[in-house]
Each structure stands twice: as C-alpha cells, then as structure tokens.
C-alpha cells in the first residue's frame, strides 16, 4: 500500500485527506480491518513508538491507551494484585496472570478509565486471545500491534459491528533521520527525536537522598518514555510498572503537576476498600461505574450517594468517603515516581508531588531556581535525578 485515502482530516471539512510516503515506498503498516481516520493514525503511530521504546528499554512487553495524540497511561506486563484487578474491572478475566501483554493493557486501560473511553491501543507484542477478549468489551477505536493470534484477530474484527480498526505495523521499519510537517503552508524540518532513554539517564542524583531502587528506575523510565510522546507541557506519575497519572498540554507546569497528581491520587483511591466494595447493581455498566467512582471521590459525592441518587446505582447506600479521610490515606503512601518533560521552575511542584506519595523524581534540570527545587526535595527526603534532556513533544 503506497497511499491510503482518508474520509477527512482532523475535521469533516478538511478534505481531501490521505497518508503516503514521500519517497514513494510502501507504507510500513497493514490495515487488517476497519477504516482508520486521520486522528486514529496519529494516535497509532505515536503510541506504537511509545510501546516499542519501553520494550527496548526494559525488555518487558508494553501497552498504552491513547486519546487525542497523548497517552492516558502506559504500562508493562507486571503482575497485578487482586485489589488492582478489582479496581480495574478485570478480576473476571480468565488467563490474565498468564498473559503479560493482556496485563500490560489492563493496567494501561484501568489507570484513567474515563479518559480511555474510546481509546486507541498500542501493544509492543503480539495480541493474544486473552488480550483480545479484554479489548472486546471496552469502548475503543482501534489497535496497532506487530501481530495477532488468528483467534484474537477474529475476536477484534467482531467489534463495532465489524468496523473496528486493526493495524499491523512493520517492526523492521526505520523512519528517516529527518522529519517534516507543514503549518500554514510552511514546511518545518527537524531531526527525529531518537534520544535513548535508559537507566544511565538517572545517574546524576542531585539530592541528599541518593537511594534509587530498581523499581524506581523502571518506573521513571516508563514515565520518561511516556512523556516523550505526550503533548507538552507534561508530567507523569508512575508506580508499580505503569504510568498512574499523565498531565498533558498544560501551559503552566504546576497546573500540569496538579492535574496528573489528581489522576495518580484516584489510581490509589480506586484501590481503597471503600471504593472496591461499592455495592453496584449488576446492570450498571462499566462506563457508568467509572463516572460514579469519579464523582464519589470528588467534593460532589452526594450526587451519587445522596438520597434520591444512590438508588439508581447501588443495592444499598454506600458509606461516605470524606475528603479528609482520602487525604489521610494518600498521605500514608510512598514510592511514587514523577518525571517531567522540562525543568521544574519552582519548588511548588515538589510540594504538590509530596501530597501524592512521590519519593523519586527525574527531570532535566537547568532552571535558575534548581536550588529551590532541590531544597524542596530534601525537605521531603526525595531522590531526584537530573537527566539533562528536555522531552518536548508537539
């Protein structure tokens, strides 16, 4: 396939639209099912690069859930606890423990389920039957992977009444060193961002605390690679082999840190017994459960557990989960990792990170207020590494 005509571009009025290779060569992917659109393909190609790089850096299979050209999460196939499976609505998936690629996607999808509604999926490894069954029951636009088990492919083809987008990527493809794009008729050219992210990037530790566990290195690498394909400004919280809170496209870094921190907090709070034991009625769908949990963890929880509201969702009135109790629970957490695509300009980012249990940080450094940021880390006994490399993505 040397050219693929699209229904339209970013919006229905943007016609004609197509993808092709400027050198006239074959497009390095095969559309096995469906008719992906312009934004679908942007998500597919960005997400594939993300999981490919995590696999190369850590030697573990990886998955990501993408929406609007940024990841909601990325994860490796680290085994899941019973609590995490229940929190992510995958405790009923048979064979999950035996399928690292399905586990990776279960983690990625479960992190921020509201944002992942209608996602694009990327897998670093072949999609097996367990992973396909998991995907089959979620609302999703499409998937890109290097290969598919025959039975898995048939399961996926049945989604969306046969219109589910399925792409097979050529893993041997290497893009040109220079890349181009046009804005307002003007062509931009730059070298591809081939910067390699690995554990050596974390060697320059600038805080009093020099401890850096192997788990922290793994999680910081996942966070940094996730940021490499997230719309800037961006920060990423990570824990247990996955991104647990991604803040993308914010003009202010502290707003980005707060946004991602709120998502990370909800990742933890979803595993709290009060949330795990919410008495949902059997007929309440997963997206409606996601919305209800989101409100339950907010200041507006009366809108789901107040009289006249809870009856539609639950078999009995749930127990209140006051904000003060939530904050107390979050204050007990440690070991969370935080990465930033550019330097932290003020210590307020560190203060916010501390509220979400952050113990390890990776950021480029280079701010005129680095001393202030380091001082804030020392105050909270955090370990911070300067990577020396900005990871802006636009």
Mean pLDDT of 95-119: 96
Look up tokens 């092709």; give the residue: 20
Say whether pLDDT at 316 is over 90: yes
Which among 21, 29, 26, 19 has a CA at the least distance from the CA of 146?
29
Provide the 3-class DSSP secondary structure of residue 217.
helix
380 tagged catalytic = no
148 secondary structure, DSSP code: B
Within 10 Å of residue 335's Cβ, how many Cβ atoms?
14
Summarised one tens digit per residue, pLDDT across range 115-143 is: 999 999 999 999 999 999 999 999 999 99
The whole-number pLDDT of residue 51 equals 98
Q: Check if 67 is active-site.
A: yes
Catalytic, 22? Answer no
Helix ranges (DSSP H) in the chain = 38-58, 82-87, 100-111, 113-116, 129-136, 150-157, 214-228, 253-269, 273-276, 286-296, 302-305, 323-331, 348-354, 370-379
pLDDT in tens, 61-99: 999 999 999 999 999 999 999 999 999 999 999 999 999
Task: Provide the token pair at 366.
Answer: 């280079």
Is 68 catalytic? The answer is yes
Please tell me which residue in 22, 161, 210, 394 is annotated as part of the active site: 394
Q: SS3 string of 348-359?
A: HHHHHHHCCCEE
Q: How far apart are CA 187 and CA 381, in angstroms?
A: 47
In three-state secondary structure terms, 237 is: strand
Helix axes 214-228, 38-58, angle to 10 degrees: 150
| pLDDT for 217 | 98
**Is the C-alpha dihedral spanning 379, 383, 387, 391 positive or negative?**
negative
Residue pair 35/163 in contact (Cβ under 8 Å)? The answer is: yes
**pLDDT at residue 293, as a whole number:** 97
What percent of the chain shows pLDDT beyond 70?
100
Annotated active-site residue in 52, 68, 255, 355? 68
Check 33, 40, 233, 349 and give the catalytic one. 233
Mean pLDDT of 371-381: 97
Residue 1 pLDDT > 90, yes or no?
Answer: no
Q: And the tokens for 334?
A: 């440690």
What predicted TM-score, i.e. pTM, was given to this entire model? 0.96
Distance CA 260, CA 298 (A): 15
User: Which one of 33, 55, 67, 217 is the catalytic residue?
Assistant: 67
Backbone φ and ψ for 102, nearest 5 degrees, come out as: -70, -40
pLDDT score, position 40: 97
For range 239-261, the mean pLDDT: 96
Tell me the per-residue pLDDT of 321-373, one tens digit each, with 9 for 90 and over: 999 999 999 999 999 999 999 999 999 999 999 999 999 999 999 999 999 99
């Amino acid at each position: 396939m040397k050219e693929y005509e699209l229904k339209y571009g970013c919006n229905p009025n943007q016609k004609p639209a197509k993808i092709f290779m400027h050198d006239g060569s074959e497009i390095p992917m095969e559309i096995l099912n469906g008719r992906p659109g312009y934004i679908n393909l942007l998500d597919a190609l960005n997400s594939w690069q993300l999981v490919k790089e995590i696999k190369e850096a850590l030697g573990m299979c990886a998955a990501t859930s993408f929406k609007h050209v940024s990841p909601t999460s990325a994860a490796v196939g680290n085994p899941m606890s019973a609590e995490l499976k229940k929190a992510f609505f995958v405790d009923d998936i048979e064979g999950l423990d035996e399928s690292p690629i399905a586990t990776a996607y279960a983690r990625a999808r479960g992190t921020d389920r509201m944002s992942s509604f209608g996602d694009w999926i990327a897998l670093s490894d072949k999609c097996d039957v367990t992973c396909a069954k998991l995907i089959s029951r979620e609302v999703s636009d499409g998937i890109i992977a290097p290969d598919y088990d025959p039975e898995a492919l048939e399961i996926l083809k049945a989604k969306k009444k046969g219109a589910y987008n399925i792409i097979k990527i050529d893993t041997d493809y290497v893009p040109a060193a220079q890349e181009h794009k046009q804005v307002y008729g003007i062509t931009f050219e730059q070298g591809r961002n081939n910067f390699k992210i690995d554990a050596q990037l974390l060697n320059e530790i600038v805080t009093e605390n020099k401890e850096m566990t192997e788990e922290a290195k793994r999680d910081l690498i996942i966070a940094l690679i996730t940021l490499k394909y997230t719309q800037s400004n961006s920060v990423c919280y990570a824990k247990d082999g996955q991104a647990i809170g991604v803040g993308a496209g914010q003009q202010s870094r502290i707003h980005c840190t707060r946004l991602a921190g709120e998502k990370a907090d909800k990742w933890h709070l979803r595993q709290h017994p009060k949330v795990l034991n919410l008495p949902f009625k059997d007929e309440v769908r997963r997206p409606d459960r996601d919305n209800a949990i989101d409100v339950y963890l907010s200041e507006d929880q009366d809108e789901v557990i107040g009289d006249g509201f809870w009856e539609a969702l639950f078999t009995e009135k749930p127990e209140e989960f006051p904000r003060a109790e939530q904050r107390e629970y979050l204050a007990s957490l440690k070991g969370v990792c935080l990465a930033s695509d550019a330097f932290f300009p003020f210590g307020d980012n560190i203060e916010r990170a501390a509220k979400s249990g952050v113990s390890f940080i990776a950021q480029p450094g280079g701010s005129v207020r680095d001393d202030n940021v380091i001082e804030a880390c020392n105050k909270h006994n955090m370990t911070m590494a300067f990577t020396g490399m900005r990871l802006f993505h636009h």
